[in-house]
Amino acid sequence: MTLVNLAQVLEPARRVGRGLAAFNVIQIEHAEAFAAAAEKVSLPVVMQISENCVRYHGSLAPIAAATLAIADACHQPVVVHLDHAEDAGLVEEAVRLGLTSVMYDGSRLSDGANRAETRRVVGLCRAHGVSVEAELGEVGGKDGVHAPGVRTDPGEAARFVADTGVDALAVAVGSSHAMTERTAQLDTELIAALRHSVPVPLVLHGSSGVADEGLAAAVRAGMTKVNIATHLNQVFTRAVLDRLENAPTVDTRKYLGAARDAVADEAARLMRLLATA
């Protein structure tokens, strides 16, 4: 296996203009699907566990242990990443458990407090070889916290990176979380300006709402890490419904297995798309 931190795969991808796919783990089948996809296309992958997912399971340790074990068995580089963590204590737990990357979300804090706490998180994580992603210019749709229509200013983004020392920066360029239709229009001129101004790789959240052409254009403009969750949840759910409609069963392995296979196929397709944009 090759369990790596985010910087180890993100910076090389940035240098050559290649996109890196990041997918959310909710059930163990998701992690299995993403590992299978990485093996199929011979590309690195980011497996993300969100703070919302931790709340769903009741704690981080069980889903983290399962994801780390699956990553350990994968022959491609895998980042196991804590996504959208607002609780700094959860970040500290993720580091103890062996996750290799975290995304700290200080959007509920004042600007000064956000920068100070992000800088503290970076210091903690760097001491353990763990990468840190942060967000500036709130991406819409995240539990009502983020204001729709906000865009990240390139100069402000550069100052935020300098102040905090983060390894990657999520920016607001027109996407929104939890979109079920792929209709979002990204500002590729802003992406290019951010790529020119910001010295670390850029991250696109809310990518499920962006069509294939928009994702490819975003990578060409300078986006590197691309987070996709809701779209794959739709794929998972459709596969479960189709399996139960066409071949009813009470064996959960049958319909969850069908969903796992469908997600693996779509994840592999998206990984190729982003890597060859």
pTM above 0.75, yes or no: yes
Contact between residue 46 and residue 101 where contact means Cβ atoms under 8 Å apart: yes
Q: What share of the chain is helix, strand, coil (3-state, %, to 5)?
A: 55, 15, 30
Q: pLDDT tens digits, residue range 226-246?
A: 999 999 999 999 999 999 999
Which of 83, 105, 167, 187 is catalytic? The answer is 83
pLDDT at residue 133 greater than cutoff 80? yes
Question: Is 83 one of the catalytic residues?
Answer: yes
Give the model's pLDDT for residue 139: 47
Domain boundaries 2-275, CATH class: alpha beta
pLDDT at residue 217 greater than cutoff 60? yes
Contact between residue 93 and residue 130 where contact means Cβ atoms under 8 Å apart: no
Q: Give the mean pLDDT of 14-24.
A: 97
Q: Give the mean pLDDT of 10-21.
A: 96
Query: Residue 178 — very low, low, confident or very high, per pLDDT cuts 50/70/90?
Result: low
Spatial separation of the C-alpha atoms in residues 33 and 30, rounded to whole Å:
5
Q: Please report the beta strands in 32-164, taking only residues with DSSP state E, as ranges in sequence order.
A: 45-50, 77-85, 101-104, 131-136
Contact between residue 85 and residue 51 where contact means Cβ atoms under 8 Å apart: yes
Give the model's pLDDT for residue 8: 96
77: number of Cβ within 10 Å: 19
Give the model's pLDDT for residue 142: 46
- 116-153: b (≥16 Cβ within 10 Å) or e: ebbbebbebbeeeebbbbbbbbbbbbbeeebeeeeebb
DSSP assigned state of 131:
E
Q: Which two tokens stand for residue 35?
A: 């590992």
pLDDT at residue 33 greater than cutoff 80? yes
Contact between residue 26 and residue 276 where contact means Cβ atoms under 8 Å apart: no
What's the mean pLDDT when you consider all of the chain? Answer: 91
* Amino acid of residue 60: L
**Three-state secondary-structure class, residue 212:** helix
Give which of 104, 103, 97, 105 is closest to 71, Cα–Cα: 97
